[in-house]
A and B are shown apart, each in its own frame.
Chain A
Amino acid sequence: MFEARGRLAKIGLQLVVTLMVLPFLFPLVAMVAGSLSGQGWGNYAKVLAVPGFALFFRNSAIIAISTIVIVYVVSLPAAFGFSKLHIRKKEFYFWLILVCITLPEVVLLAPLFVLASQLGLFNTYWAVVIPLAALHVPFAVLLTRNFVDGIPDELFEAARVDGASSMDIFWNMVIPLSRPIAAAVVIFTLLASWNDYLLPLVFLQDPTTETITLIPQYFVGEFNNDQTKVLASAVITAFPEVVAYLLLQRLFERGLSAGALK
C-alpha cells in the first residue's frame, strides 16, 4: 500500500517494520533464553523426564478432537436446515442459538459444577468437552450457515427434481461443497479447545486427566518454582502449536478470519 521509490525510503520502511515487530518477538526470545539459563538443555531433559508429561498432550488432544467432532457433526446439518430447508419460526431458532455466541464460560461455572458432581463427571473429559462444544456450536452454526446461504438454491432444486432426498443432498452436496468453511470451523474450535484454561482448571483435578494449559501450574509445584524449568515446559508446550501453525499457515489465518470476511 505504501509506495517507497527511493532506496532511502525503502530502508526507512524496513526499519519501521522491524522496530514495530521487536516487541512481539521479545517475549518469545525471553522465553527461550530463560528456559536455557542455569542448566541449559538440562532443563528440558528434567521437564521431559517428569513421569506422565506426555499425558497432558494426550488429554488436550482427546478433548480438542472430541470437541471438534461434536461441533462439526452438530453444526453442519444445522446450517443446511437453517439455510435450505423449511422450518417454521426459523429465524427465532437461529437467534436462540446465535445469542449464545457472546456467553462468557465463567457464567456456566456454578451449574456445570453442580451438574458434574451430581453425574460424577469430575476428572472425566466429558466435563470439559460438552460445555466447550456447547459454547462453540453457536459460532460454528453462524459461520456454516452464512457459507451454505451462498450456495445457489437452484443447485439443490435441480437435485430434488432428480429425486434426491435431503439426506442424499446433505451427503453428496453440502458436505463436499462446504469443505472450506469446515476447515475454518475445525481451526477455530481446535484453538479454542486446545487453549482453554478455565474448564480444565475447575473440572480436571487429577494429573492423569489434566490438559496442557495446566502444565505451568503443575510445574511450579513440581520444581519448587524453578523458573528455568517452568519456562522450558512453556517452550515445549508452545512448540506443537507453533509447528502446526507454520505447517498450516494459510488455513489458520483464513480459518480465524473467516467469520469477519465477506
Chain B
Amino acid sequence: MVNGKQELAITRPIGSSSGGARDVRRHPMRPPGLPWVLPALVVTMGVIYYGIGYTGNVSLFNWNGLSDNPPNIGIKNYQGILADPVFWQALEHTIVFFVVVVVVQTALGFIFAVLLHSPIRFAVLYKIIIFVPVVLAPAVMAPVFRQIWAVDGPINRLLGDVGLGALEQPWIAQSSTSLAVIISIQVWEFTGLTFVLYYAAMGQIDSTVLEAARIDGAGNIRIILSIIWPDVRGTTVALAMLTAIGSLKTFDIPYLVTAGGPNYSTEFLGTYIFRISIPQAHVGYGAALSVLLLILALTMAIMLQARGREKEGPAV
C-alpha cells in the first residue's frame, strides 16, 4: 500500500497539471514524501480527529455514557450551556486567569532575566530555584499548596508572626481569594519557563549596542525600556500565546487544590467538563462544552498559524 502511494506521487506531477509540473522543475530531485508523514497523520488524525468527530456527534444527544439509545436532542445541549451561569463563570475565570498570569509572569520572568544577566553572585543558584517548579508535576505539588494555604498553614502562621495576624484568612476555602491562590500557584509553576526564554533571548542581544547606549549616557532603566524590552518582543508574544493555550487547558491545579470551588469560584472549562462528563455522567452536555472549548482553542490555533506565516518572530 505504501508502495502504491509512492508510485502515485511520482507519476502524478509529470502527467498533467501545470502546477505539479512547475513543482517538478523547481525540485527536480524531490522524491515522494507522503509515506514519511503518514504515521504522524495516522496517529494525530486517528486519535484526535476521531475524538473530535465523536465528541461533536455525542454533543447532540442526552447521553449518560451507558444507555444504548440516547435521545437525539439537537442543539438543546448548546442552548443549555448558553443559559448556564457556571459556563460563563468558568469562561470568566479563564480570561481573568490568562490576563493576570500573562502580566505577572511576563513581568517576573523579564525582571529575573535582566537581573541574572547582571553582575550577581550565586546566579546559578537563583536560576535553579526559579526553574525547579517547572519540572515538578502540578499534581504532585497540589497537596503541598493545599497545606501552605490552609487555615492553620504556613502562610497564615507567617502573617501572624510578622504582626499581620489581621490578614489571616481561609485562603482556599472562600470564593473571594480562591482564584487568586490558583493564579499564584500557576505563576509559581511556570515563571521559570518565562524566565528561561527571556534569559536566552537576552543572551542574543548584541552587547556593542548596549555599550554604545551607555557611552551615550543611557541609564539602566532607559536601556531596559528602549533596547532590551523591544528586542525581546518576539519572545513576549510567543509567551502570551503559550499562556493563552495553557489557560484553556488548565485542569490539574484547580481540580486538585480547590476542586473548582468553593461555590464554583475556581471552576475552569477543563474542570467543568470533567465534572459534568465523568462524576455526573452528563456525557452529551460535557461533549457540547468540549466542542465550545475546542472552538476557542481552534481560534487560538488559527491566530498562531497566522503568526507563524509572518516568520518574523519565534514560531512558538
User: Which A residues have a C-beta under 8 Å from some C-beta of B?
Assistant: 1-4, 10, 13-14, 16-18, 20-21, 23-28, 30-31, 33-34, 70, 73-75, 77-78, 80-82, 84-88, 90, 93, 95-114, 130-131, 133-135, 137-138, 141-142, 146, 157, 160-161, 165-166, 170, 191, 194-195, 197-198, 202, 212-216, 220, 227, 230-231, 234, 237-238, 241-242, 244-246, 249, 252-254, 256-257, 259-262
Known: A30-B148, A166-B31, A237-B140. 10 other contacts (CB 8 A): A13-B119, A24-B191, A28-B129, A87-B9, A100-B44, A102-B301, A104-B293, A109-B286, A110-B55, A262-B314
Bits for B137-165, please: 1 = Cβ < 8 Å to A, else 0.
Answer: 11111111101100000100000000000
When the two chains form the complex, which single residue of B13, B238, B252 contacts A260, counting CB atoms closer than 8 Å? B238
Q: Is the CB of A27 within 8 A of B148?
A: yes
* Bound Cα distance from A138 to B204, whole angstroms: 28
A22 to chain B, nearest CB (A): 9
Q: What chain B residues lie within 8 Å of A259 (beta carbons)?
A: 314-316
Q: Indicate if the CB atoms of A231 and B147 lie closer than 8 Å.
A: yes
Interface of B is mostly: helix
Q: Can you name 10 A-B pairs with beta carbons within 8 Å?
A: A17-B115, A20-B111, A101-B301, A108-B55, A137-B43, A213-B140, A227-B143, A227-B147, A242-B135, A252-B131
Residues of A within 8 A of B40 (CB): 74-75, 77-78, 97, 137, 141
Also in contact, A134 and B46, with CB within 8 A (given A3-B214, A86-B32): yes
| Chain B interface residues (CB < 8 Å from chain A) | 9, 12-13, 20, 23, 27, 29-37, 39-41, 43-52, 54-55, 58, 65, 108, 111-112, 114-121, 126, 128-145, 147-148, 154, 188, 191-193, 196-197, 200-202, 204, 210, 214, 220, 223-224, 228, 234-235, 238-239, 242, 245, 248-249, 251-252, 256, 269-270, 273-274, 277-278, 283, 286-287, 290, 293-294, 297-298, 300-301, 304-305, 314-316
- Residues in A with CB closer than 8 Å to B287 are 110
Interface secondary structure of A, over-half rule: helix
How many angstroms from the CA of A34 to the CA of B125 in the assembled complex?
23
Q: Does the CB pair B188–A1 fall under 8 Å? A: no
With A1-B228, A110-B287 already in contact, the answer to whether A234 and B54 are too (CB < 8 A) is: no
Q: State which of B32, B137, B142, B193 has its C-beta within 8 Å of the C-beta of A256.
A: B193
Contact in complex: A24, B32 (CB < 8 Å): no
What is the bound-complex CA distance between A202 and B273, given in angstroms?
13
Q: Are B201 and A261 in contact (CB under 8 A)?
A: yes
Q: Which of B12, B43, B132, B235 contacts A245 (CB 8 A)?
A: B132
Out of B137, B238, B286, which one reaches A195, CB within 8 Å?
B137
Q: Which residues of B contact A108 (CB under 8 A)?
A: 47-48, 51, 55
Q: Are A197 and B143 in contact (CB under 8 A)?
A: no
Kindly provide the distance from the CB of B53 to the nearest chain A CB, expressed in whole angstroms.
Answer: 8
A103 to B193, CA, bound (A): 21
> Do residues B43 and A96 form an inter-chain contact, with CB atoms below 8 A?
no
Q: Is the CB of A74 within 8 A of B251?
A: no
**A111 touching B191, Cβ below 8 Å:** no
In the complex, which residue of chain B has the Cβ closest to the Cβ of A142?
B315
Query: A107, B55: Cβ atoms under 8 Å?
Result: yes
A85–B20 contact, CB under 8 A?
Answer: no
Known contacts A4-B118, A110-B290; A88/B31 CB under 8 A:
no
Q: Identify which of A14, A28, A87 contacts B32 (C-beta below 8 A).
A: A87
* Contact A242:B46 (CB < 8 A) given known A14-B121, A110-B55: no
The answer to whether A197 and B314 have CB atoms under 8 Å apart is: no
> Measured between alpha carbons, how far is A63 from B117 in the docked complex, in Å?
38
